[in-house]
A and B are shown apart, each in its own frame.
Chain A
Amino acid sequence: EAGVTQFPSHSVIEKGQTVTLRCDPISGHDNLYWYRRVMGKEIKFLLHFVKESKQDESGMPNNRFLAERTGGTYSTLKVQPAELEDSGVYFCASSQDGLKGETQYFGPGTRLLVL
């Protein structure tokens, strides 16, 4: 079974540009999460989808970030316009529908560098 996949693996953009990150969760996983790790800091929660609905977006830094999950399958995270402090690694994770004790499986991440 394929794991969580993310695209692109790396992205280098200039300040002010727009970048869209994509995440494909494990097939059948209704729960999808976005996290990010900025340089030298801990991995921080951004938001959580259950199917196509946003359950918790308390970690989204500001309104330059927009996450979508149309159809409840893959998700996109758009940053517009990108700022220097947005540089970091963006991780997506997924878990099966239901129990709070379930494991979250992470993708390899997208490494974003804003110049």
Chain B
Amino acid sequence: GESVGLHLPTLSVQEGDNSIINCAYSNSASDYFIWYKQESGKGPQFIIDIRSNMDKRQGQRVTVLLNKTVKHLSLQIAATQPGDSAVYFCAERRGYKLSFGAGTTVTVRA
């Protein structure tokens, strides 16, 4: 069965605002949780990951939060730009295998 899922299939955000994309998971045995971004015609592109023993990790304009108590993962994008429009997937990794959620389509409004 599926172990990773996203709360909302679509998200519309005003350019310059912050975006928050959510994901719920059910498998507590995963090593890592990862966010990928997929633009039209391309494959998933790694954004950021977080080990299962951490609760927050920051990158450039992105922050991933992991709440193991409620099995929730989120991706925060600061100052959303038009180039951030894409489908975002959360995924969990156990060993070498990735399990993906269904994806959230983010549309940035000018």
Chain A: residues with CB nearer than 8 A to chain B? Answer: 4, 31, 33, 35, 41-45, 48, 55-56, 59, 91, 93, 95, 100-101, 103-109
- Is B8 on the interface with A (CB-CB < 8 A)? no
Chain B contact residues (Cβ within 8 angstroms of A): what range?
A: 20 to 34
Which of A31, A93, A103, A106 makes the CB contact (< 8 A) with B49? A103
- Closest residue of chain B to A106 (Cβ to Cβ) is B43
Q: How far is the CA of A105 from the CA of B36 in the complex (A)?
A: 10
- Is B17 on the interface with A (CB-CB < 8 A)? no
Say whether A41 contacts B46, CB under 8 Å: no
Return chain B residues, CB-CB under 8 Å to A48.
96-97
Return chain A residues, CB-CB under 8 Å to B32.
101
Q: Is the interface of B mostly helix, strand, loop or mixed?
A: strand
Return chain B residues, CB-CB under 8 Å to A104.
46, 98
Return chain B residues, CB-CB under 8 Å to A106.
36, 43-45
Q: Is the interface of A mostly helix, strand, loop or mixed?
A: strand
Return chain B residues, CB-CB under 8 Å to A45.
97-99
Q: How far is the CA of A103 from the CA of B5 in the complex (A)?
A: 21
The answer to whether A4 and B43 touch (CB under 8 A), given A41-B102, A43-B89, A100-B31, is yes
Say whether B103 contacts A42, CB under 8 Å: yes
